[in-house]
Amino acid sequence: MKKYFLLLVLLFVIPLACANNDYKEVNKLGLVKLHTWHFTSGIMNNAIDLKYNKEDVMFECSVDRGYLWTYENQTKTKTIKLNTNDTVHWFEFENDSEGFIEQAFIEIILMSEDSIIGYVVIRVKHNYGLNYEAKVLKSTLFPKVNGEYQLIPKGLVDSKIDNIKKQ
């Protein structure tokens, strides 16, 4: 009987307790800097500078429409991992799209080793002609608690990002 009770606790109670875990999250401006979001001739535009005060932080960037591009890689891609102080550019054309992309979302997840420490959501909207406007919808960090990074599940961050994109 004790084995069954223990099994029930392991299967139902512990996952529920973990699912209701309260994570500390703080809004943090300055994780990205948007600049040159207008048509330029010969100079890459639609730039996103990635900023954090620790060199070991990686930025995992992805986009749903268009492409990401860096001077270092010289390749259009949907996802890319970059370091702090790097710059990534949003490229507004896709092979399968006709005309202009009306809206795109850029998701950026900040990682320190294997820990998710923050995220940024950027919405890109077509303005007119070859011009686009970018807006940071959310820029947040998960601060250390008792000197340790919080164990933030990727699914939780994905869910938060999806909710922001729906607003």
pLDDT score for 121: 98
pLDDT of residue 50: 98
The residue-averaged pLDDT of 24-41 equals: 93
Better-predicted residue by pLDDT, 55 or 124: 124
Which residues, at least 6 apart from 40, have a Cβ–Cβ distance to it below 8 Å? none
Tell me the pLDDT of the chain averaged across its residues: 87
Mean pLDDT lowest among 3-17, 85-99, 150-164: 3-17
Task: Calculate mean pLDDT across residues 5-29.
Answer: 60
Q: Average the pLDDT over 46-52 and give the result.
A: 96
Q: Cα–Cα distance between 131 and 133 in angstroms, integer?
A: 7
Between 101 and 15, the more confident residue is 101
Spatial CA neighbour of 122 closest among 43, 44, 26, 31: 31
The answer to whether the beta carbons of residues 111 and 86 sit under 8 Å apart is: no
Is 9 a residue whose pLDDT tops 80?
no
pTM (2 decimals)?
0.85
Region 104-122 average pLDDT: 97
* pLDDT 10s digits, 130-154: 889 999 999 999 999 999 999 999 9
Average pLDDT for 91-106: 81
| Res 12 pLDDT > 70 | no
Q: Where are the domains of the chain?
A: 24-166
**Helix/strand/coil percent split, the chain, to 5:** 20, 40, 40
